[in-house]
Structure 1
């Protein structure tokens, strides 16, 4: 765990899909008395990895590039260099956020929570803690009642439905029996009903899985 006293020397890099946000975040980090030092703002991760010294904290947008590619896969590389990663995002789908935490993110800052709360989370994570900008942010990554726990096969089945495939075609794609596909659909429906979600057909199952972040 990082020595809390090191907060006075914490270097911060920002990676965000929208460079229009850079001035605001840079000004916040560079504010006198913040205890933070801004070392650069970037629209992609490779330039951060190319820095001679790894930043103490990387504030990372979850979606990057023109195609809004997920940045989760970069988190292990950033943490391997010794950086603490704080996800700064407008994404509020629990599954996507939890993937980022499992990949090694040390904190979550929702963009809607404002810049001041981001600063608090950066400080908390730099000191070795796990920070969230709000009760909602923490719930999105910890509250098991917010999201159905779907298995990989159940997600693959829903993906097939989303692609417009019949159950028979899904069975062929997955190399399973058509009856197994029906069982997966039935189990997914049960899980969403237990959460109080209104699911009446296959399309509504796809809708809820997309809402949670299992499907794009």
Structure 2
């Protein structure tokens, strides 16, 4: 299968470099280029790409806003965001919006080609280790000055909403969701919960469907928002 790729970046030299690099892969076709996020809807409607490689920082409509708008559309292509930062709060916003992952602009060419292929195949471009790093980054807040402040922080609307969403899952689905939030692979989840890997995949698919998510990275972010990412890994709920 040929992967149809759209490149969106406001720097013409970056676009040219990415097109040269990715266009050399036999299974990737560069179907178009854009210079700003406001061009994305029209380009996607006209060119029907499978994957959009999206820069974050653009002058009129940034890549985060463009990703949110694009992923809200039915049948939207997958999005990989480009960033110059390894752990950027903006990347987390993009992942919550439905981006399949991110790559650094100084990533080796072969790895960028591999990332496009993985996303086209339905796999997020985030290893468990990078998922944990991102969640740790967003969790870094000044320590609360008192127990009262800590309680207030723990009761934030985002945390309450995330816990309600997880509570809507069946017990085993919730176990799997928590394990995903801990950065575990399917094989590691299967071993910890005494399941087969296909059963884990089935539960992950059900969690995605029930919570209206696009990929397992978003599951991990909900678990983080719920304050449950640091539960002991050997004793998930339901065992």
Tell me the TM-score range normalised by the shorter chain. Answer: 0.5 to 0.7
Q: Is the 8 A contact 2:84 2:105 kept in 1?
A: yes
Distance 2:66 2:97 in 1: 9
Structure 1 residue runs of 4 or more that deviate by more than 3 Å after TM superposition: 134-140, 144-147, 181-184
Paired residue for 1:106? 100
Normalising by structure 2, what TM-score? Answer: 0.52
Paired residue for 1:15? 8
Unaligned runs of 5+ in 1: 1-7, 155-180, 191-216
Cα shift at 1:99:
1.1
Cα shift at 1:123:
0.5
Unaligned runs of 5+ in 2: 154-239
Instruction: Name the SS for the 2:139 alignment partner.
Output: coil
- Check if 1:55 corresponds to 2:49: yes
Normalising by structure 1, what TM-score? Answer: 0.57
Distance 1:11 1:94, change over 3 A: same
1:26-175 matched pairs, under 5 angstroms:
26-33=19-26, 35-51=27-43, 52-65=46-59, 70-79=62-71, 80=73, 81-132=75-126, 137-141=130-134, 144-148=135-139
Pick the structure with greater CA Rg: 1
Q: Is the 8 A contact 1:13 1:48 kept in 2?
A: no
Aligned residues between the structures: 147
The alignment yields a C-alpha RMSD, in angstroms, of: 3.2
Instruction: Name the SS for the 1:20 alignment partner.
Output: helix
Distance 1:77 1:86, change over 3 A: same
